[in-house]
Chain A
Amino acid sequence: MTQLTIAIAKGRLQAGTLELLANSGLCDTRDALSSRRLAIEDESGRFRFIFVKPMDVPVYVEHGIADCGVVGRDVLMESDADLLQPLTLGIGRCRIVVAAPAGMPGRGSGMLRVATKYPHIAAAYFGAHGQPVEVIELSGSVELAPLLGLADCIVDLVETGRTLHDNGLSIIEVIAESSGRLVVNRASYQLKPKAVGALIAALEAATREGDLQSD
C-alpha cells in the first residue's frame, strides 16, 4: 500500500485543513487535532501528517520528503518553489495587500519604503509597476512600521482588516487573493498517481461541498 506524507502548515490553516481531510472521508484526523506531536500516522496507515511552519511546507514538498502539502497561496508566491498546485481549497481566504496610513503619498511619488514579511512578493509587485522601493523585511507586527516611521507602507496578509484598522492603516491596493492550496511534489505525482489522484478527487469533492454550505 502506498503511503502519502502530507505536510500541513501550522497555524492559520491547520484546523481548516484537518477538517477538510476529515470531511473528505479519506482519514480520521481527530488524533491530529488533539495531539501536539509533529508527525502522525492515520489509523489506516495510508497517510502520515507532518506539521511544519507555513514557509517550510514548500521546502518539504519540493524535496519530496512530503508528497503533498497544504499551504496558503501567499506562501507559494513568496517561496518560488517548483510545485504542482492542483487544487484551491477555499480555506483560510485572505488577501495580500498594500496598506498605508491615510495621506501617505502613493505609487509614482518617488522612492517608497515597504515593510513586509513577504519581500519577494513586494519586490515583484512594485517592480512590475516600475515603482522603486526599498523593501524592509520584518518577521512580525508589520503594522507598526509606518506608525513609527520605519516605512511608508506595508505589504501584508489581511483576513478581516481589523488589525489594519486598529493601527490606522487602510488598504491601498490588493496584490492577490489567497487561500489554502493543495501542493504536490512533481515526482510523487508521477510515481504515486493512484494515491495522489484519490487525494485530489476526495479533497475536490469536500471543497465543493464546503463551498455549497457556506453559500
Chain B
Amino acid sequence: MSEPLSKIPNGLRYYSGHEARLRRVIEETAMSVFEGWSYEEVITPTLDYYSLFERGMGPSEAHHAFRFTDTDGRLLALRPDVTSGIARVTATLFANRPRPLRLCYAAPVFRQQGQSTIEWRRESTQIGCELVGQNSAASDIEVLAIACEVLRRLHLDRGYVITLNDVEVFNGVAESLGFDSGARDQLRQLEDGRNVADVEAFLTSRASVEDVRAISQLIRLSGKLETLDSARGLIKNARSSAALDRLENLWRIIESLALTDHFEIDLGDVSRLDYYTGLTFKIYIEGAGARVGSGGRYDNLTANFGKSEPAVGFVLDLDALAGLLLAGNNGAMLTAQPERKAQCVVDNDLSALFREAIERRARGERVVIGSGEVTP
C-alpha cells in the first residue's frame, strides 16, 4: 500500500503565515540584541563529522544525532547542537584572533529523539551566544544581561525566572566524600530529582550522618541571597565555599542592576555536570511547562579541541519562545509590522502593471498582483 503524500516524518512540521513570521521576528530580535553587544554571527555546517559532536557534547548526548556515512566512509551527523561547531572554530580557524571572542548563532538542530518524553520535535531551532577567552565575573554577568534583554525585547519580561547555580558546589561535596565518578553521577541523578528519601538512602552507607543531613537539605535550597547563607551553614569544604562566594558576588551585581525579581539561586540544580565547569543557569517563563533556555560556563569544552580557554554562553529554544508568544497576545505585537495592508495592482497591460508595482515597491508599499477583476 502506498503512503499518502501528506505524510511527513515524526517530529517534523511545516510553519506558515503568522507563526512563520513570528519565528523569524524572534530570531531577528535575538540576533539584533547579540549584535548590539558586539557578538559576531557564525553559521556552522548543517552536516559535520560525528566525532565533532562526540568531542563537543560527550558520547551520551551525541548519540541522539542522525548519522550517515560520507563518500569516504567517515561518519557524518546532522548537527545536534551548534556549540560543538563553535568550540572547534574558536580553537582552529579563530585560534589566533585576539580574545575575547564574542560569537552568536541561530540555527536548526536535529535529534533522532527529543531530549525528554514531552519533546516531540526532532528539528528545533537554537538561538545562542558564546563568550570565549575571558574568565571573569564580568563575562558571566554579560551573558545574563544579554539573556534578560532578549526576553525584554520579546515582551516576555513579566513572568520569567533565571535560576543560578555553580557546579562546583556539588563537585566540592562529592570530592569531600571521596566519591569516584560512578558514585558521583549516581548522587547527581538522585539530587536532580530532588528526592530527599532517595538521596538519604543512597548516602547512608557512604557518608557520615552530618553529611547526609547537610546534603539532603542542600538539594532543596533555593531562593534569594539568604540561600547562600543557609548553604554555608551546611557545607564547609573549600571548593564548595569558593563557589558560594562566586555566586554571592554575582548576586550582588544582579541586585545593583535591580534584576533580583527575575533571579533565583537554586543549589539543587545539578543537571549536566560533565559539561559545565562553573556557573549554570536555566530560564523558565510562566506559561511554558519546560525551560526555554539554559547556559553556563564550560571551560573544558575548548580543551577537547586542543586549545583550553574559558567560555560562557547560553542557548534559547526558539520553538518554546514561539509557543509562548503564540499563546499570548505578545506575538501580535511583534509581527504587527509585516501585516500592513497590501495594495492591489491590476492592469490588463502587463508592462503598465509591473511598472506600477515596481514603483510602489520602490516607495516601500506592500503590493499584491491582482488577477484582473478580483480584488482580495
Residues of chain A touching chain B, judged by Cβ–Cβ distance below 8 Å, are: 58-59, 62-65, 79-88, 181, 184-187, 189-191, 193, 200
Q: How many angstroms from the CA of A63 to the CA of B291 in the assembled complex?
A: 11
Given contacts A85-B194, A87-B195, A88-B197, contact A187 B163 (CB under 8 A): no
CB-based contact A186/B290 at 8 Å: yes
* Complex interface: chain A residues within 8 A of B285 (CB): 187, 191
Contact bitstring B270-285, A, C-beta under 8 A = 1, else 0: 0000000000001011
Set B195, B223, B266, B289: member contacting A88, Cβ < 8 A: B195
CB-based contact A62/B194 at 8 Å: no
Apart from A87-B197, A191-B159, A193-B223, list 4 A-B contacts with CB within 8 A. A80-B117, A184-B194, A186-B291, A193-B222
User: For residue B288, which residue of chain A has the nearest CB?
Assistant: A187
* Complex interface: chain A residues within 8 A of B291 (CB): 186-187
**Chain A nearest CB: distance from B326 CB in Å?**
16
Residues of chain B from 245 to 298 with CB closer than 8 A to chain A in the complex: 264, 266, 282, 284-286, 288-291
Q: How many angstroms from the CA of A190 to the CA of B222 in the assembled complex?
A: 9
* Complex interface: chain B residues within 8 A of A81 (CB): 116-118
23 residue pairs bridging A and B, Cβ less than 8 Å apart: A59-B117, A59-B118, A62-B117, A62-B290, A64-B289, A64-B290, A80-B117, A84-B194, A85-B194, A86-B194, A87-B196, A88-B195, A88-B198, A185-B289, A186-B291, A187-B291, A190-B264, A190-B282, A190-B284, A191-B161, A191-B286, A193-B222, A193-B264
**A/B pair count, beta carbons within 8 Å:** 68
Set B117, B222, B223, B290: member contacting A187, Cβ < 8 A: B290
CB-based contact A190/B195 at 8 Å: no
* Complex interface: chain A residues within 8 A of B289 (CB): 62-65, 185, 187
* Complex interface: chain A residues within 8 A of B198 (CB): 85, 88
By size class, the interface of chain B is 20 to 34
Q: Is B193 an interface residue (CB 8 A)?
A: yes
- In this complex, the member of A87, A184, A186, A193 whose beta carbon has the largest number of chain B beta carbons within 10 angstroms is A186
Q: How many angstroms from the CA of A86 to the CA of B221 in the assembled complex?
A: 12
Q: Is B220 an interface residue (CB 8 A)?
A: yes
- In this complex, the member of B193, B288, B291 whose beta carbon has the largest number of chain A beta carbons within 10 angstroms is B193
Q: How many angstroms from the CA of A81 to the CA of B118 in the assembled complex?
A: 8
Q: How many angstroms from the CA of A82 to the CA of B117 in the assembled complex?
A: 7
**Chain B nearest CB: distance from A205 CB in Å?**
14
* Complex interface: chain A residues within 8 A of B193 (CB): 83-85
Q: How many angstroms from the CA of A189 to the CA of B289 in the assembled complex?
A: 10
* Complex interface: chain A residues within 8 A of B194 (CB): 84-86, 184, 189
CB-based contact B196/A86 at 8 Å: yes
Q: How many angstroms from the CA of A193 to the CA of B116 in the assembled complex?
A: 23
Set B118, B161, B222, B284: member contacting A62, Cβ < 8 A: B118
Q: How many angstroms from the CA of A82 to the CA of B289 in the assembled complex?
A: 12
* Complex interface: chain B residues within 8 A of A189 (CB): 194
* 3 A-B pairs closest in CB distance: A64-B289, A88-B197, A82-B116
CB-based contact A190/B288 at 8 Å: no
CB-based contact A79/B288 at 8 Å: no
* Complex interface: chain B residues within 8 A of A79 (CB): 117
Q: How many angstroms from the CA of A47 to the CA of B223 in the assembled complex?
A: 23
* Complex interface: chain B residues within 8 A of A58 (CB): 117
Set B195, B286, B290: member contacting A181, Cβ < 8 A: B195
* Complex interface: chain B residues within 8 A of A87 (CB): 195-197
**Chain A nearest CB: distance from B157 CB in Å?**
14
User: For residue A63, which residue of chain B has the nearest CB?
Assistant: B289
CB-based contact B163/A63 at 8 Å: no
* Complex interface: chain A residues within 8 A of B290 (CB): 62, 64, 186-187
Q: How many angstroms from the CA of A64 to the CA of B289 in the assembled complex?
A: 4
- In this complex, the member of B197, B220, B282 whose beta carbon has the largest number of chain A beta carbons within 10 angstroms is B197
User: For residue A84, which residue of chain B has the nearest CB?
Assistant: B194
User: For residue A82, which residue of chain B has the nearest CB?
Assistant: B116
Contact bitstring B164-201, A, C-beta under 8 A = 1, else 0: 00000000000000000000000000000111111000
* Complex interface: chain A residues within 8 A of B116 (CB): 62, 81-82
User: For residue A184, which residue of chain B has the nearest CB?
Assistant: B194
Q: How many angstroms from the CA of A73 to the CA of B347 in the assembled complex?
A: 71
* Complex interface: chain A residues within 8 A of B288 (CB): 64, 187
* Complex interface: chain B residues within 8 A of A80 (CB): 117
User: For residue A177, which residue of chain B has the nearest CB?
Assistant: B201
User: For residue B264, which residue of chain A has the nearest CB?
Assistant: A190
**Chain A nearest CB: distance from B253 CB in Å?**
21
* Complex interface: chain A residues within 8 A of B282 (CB): 190
User: For residue A64, which residue of chain B has the nearest CB?
Assistant: B289
**Chain B nearest CB: distance from A54 CB in Å?**
15
**Chain A nearest CB: distance from B376 CB in Å?**
39
**Chain A nearest CB: distance from B254 CB in Å?**
16
Q: How many angstroms from the CA of A86 to the CA of B220 in the assembled complex?
A: 8
Residues of chain B from 131 to 166 with CB closer than 8 A to chain A in the complex: 159, 161, 163
* Complex interface: chain B residues within 8 A of A185 (CB): 289
